[in-house]
Amino acid sequence: MNKTYPSLEDALDAVEDGMSVMIGGFGGAGAPIELIHALVDRYKRTGSPGNLTVVNNNAGNGAIGIAAMIYAGMVAKMVCSFPRSSDPKAFTERYLAGQIELELVPQGTLAERIRAGGAGIPAFYTPTSYGTQLAEGKPVEEFEGRPYVRERWLKADISLIKAELADRRGNLTYRKAARNFSPLMAMAATTTIVQASRIVEPGGIDPEQVVTPGIFVHRIVEVREPKQEEALLREGAK
């Protein structure tokens, strides 16, 4: 079994128009910048893949990463908890102009919906958002005397993930708080595409240290010394 791909472009050829794409990261930590920009480059070259639904905690910062996807015009809808950042112009302008759709989801509900999607659980109940605008229209049920809101699973066609180490079978480790949504998103997509700082032989990762088991991962491409989104922004990247 060998899930490695020779290039970003090859690994990304599964991404098509109109797909839903989960993208790992919380702010800049864990953002798979090289995968995202290879996709933006392809869109600029060929006009595809467009009309995407993107799932991420945020909605882009500055003009790189998800913000670059939005500026390029690839994104029809964002599913996120916090579409603000130090420079949210890309999303804000298009949202206020009615050019991009927003599904706002509380952060913990977003995480659990993705986990449920990957775990084969179509719905679950959570206390979060009960009695608020974000629960409108959703079924409510009482358990042990407290009201809970029913939420549905969230799945995607594609997940784009940044890992630290990968082996050829797709076992992954992450770096520090760059882990965030990535282990959940890796479970929830039909095709999970990973950029890893280093690809090792099977056995090269201690089984005790594996965070995402390879069964959830379909394609891996090595990106040595990957860029870090926040560091790029602070260097003034455009």
Using DSSP's 3-state secondary structure scheme, residue 64 falls into strand
CA distance 26 to 20: 18
**Residue 123 interacts with another protein (CB under 8 A): yes or no:** no
Stretch binding another protein (CB under 8 A), from 12-20, 27-35, 193-201, 216-224: 27-35
51 vs 126, beta carbon nearer another protein:
126
Q: Are 199 and 170 in contact (CB under 8 A)?
A: no
159 vs 182, beta carbon nearer another protein:
182
Using DSSP's 3-state secondary structure scheme, residue 223 falls into coil
130 vs 210, beta carbon nearer another protein:
130
Q: Are 8 and 35 in contact (CB under 8 A)?
A: yes
**Residue 224 interacts with another protein (CB under 8 A): yes or no:** no
Q: Which of 92, 168, 197, 210 binds another protein (CB under 8 A)?
A: 92
Q: How many CB atoms lie within 10 A of CB 175?
A: 15
Bond from prior residue into 213 cis (ω within 30 degrees of 0): no
Stretch binding another protein (CB under 8 A), from 45-53, 107-115, 137-145, 217-225: 107-115
Sheet strand arrangement including 123-126: 123-126, 146-152, 140-143
**Residue 173 interacts with another protein (CB under 8 A): yes or no:** no
Q: Which of 56, 182, 192, 195 binds another protein (CB under 8 A)?
A: 182
User: Which residues would be at the binding site for another protein (CB under 8 A)?
Assistant: 26-30, 81-86, 88, 91-92, 95-96, 102, 104-112, 114-115, 126-134, 174-184, 211, 228-231, 234
